[in-house]
Amino acid sequence: MESYIFKLDETGKSVLVALENAIARGVSLQLLIDGVGSYHDAGVIAERLRSTNSEVRVFHPLPWDFSLYRRALYAGRWYSRFFHMIASINHRDHRKLCLIDAQIAWLGSYNITSDHANPGALDADDYWHDTGLRATGSVVSALDTNFGRVW
């Protein structure tokens, strides 16, 4: 699963509980969230899921957030990670993807936040017009391969 914004508001908390329930039923989870889009809640989400044996990684965390270094995609000593993160600070992961058993993919523009789930959260003229779709077949294999490359 991959998301730019995973915010622990009403929607985010509901999604997190649903993920925890799925993991309790034996579903394995790899969650990739962006270091800027999910900045405020990435550490909390990772810690909540840590005890479930799921994998959580943060795509290019901000260089000054040392608590997320161990979850960064880039491996190496802290100073090597720091300079890599400085160099890639504007390289963000805006993908929103949910892969299920490499057979089904849900993708689109929805982030995991009430701002994107509830048109009433913002002024009527300002709310997001998000789109999502369900994909099956050979395209899912390509999406799975791409997720694996980023992971």
Cα angle 83-67-114, degrees, rounded to a multiple of 5: 105
Instruction: Reply yes or no on whether the pLDDT at 122 is more than 60.
Output: no
What average pLDDT does range 93-97 have in this prediction? 93
Task: Provide CATH code, domain 2-150.
Answer: 3.30.870
**The pLDDT value given to residue 66:** 63
**Confidence (pTM):** 0.82
The pLDDT tens digits for 37-93 are 999 999 999 999 988 989 999 988 876 666 665 666 666 676 777 776 677 777 788
What average pLDDT does range 18-45 have in this prediction? 95
Would you place residue 136 in the very low, low, confident or very high pLDDT band (cuts 50, 70, 90)?
A: very high
- For 127, the 3-state DSSP assignment is coil
Instruction: Reply yes or no on whether the pLDDT at 11 is more than 60.
Output: yes
Strand partners, 31: 56
**The pLDDT value given to residue 73:** 67
**The pLDDT value given to residue 87:** 73
Would you place residue 13 in the very low, low, confident or very high pLDDT band (cuts 50, 70, 90)?
A: very high
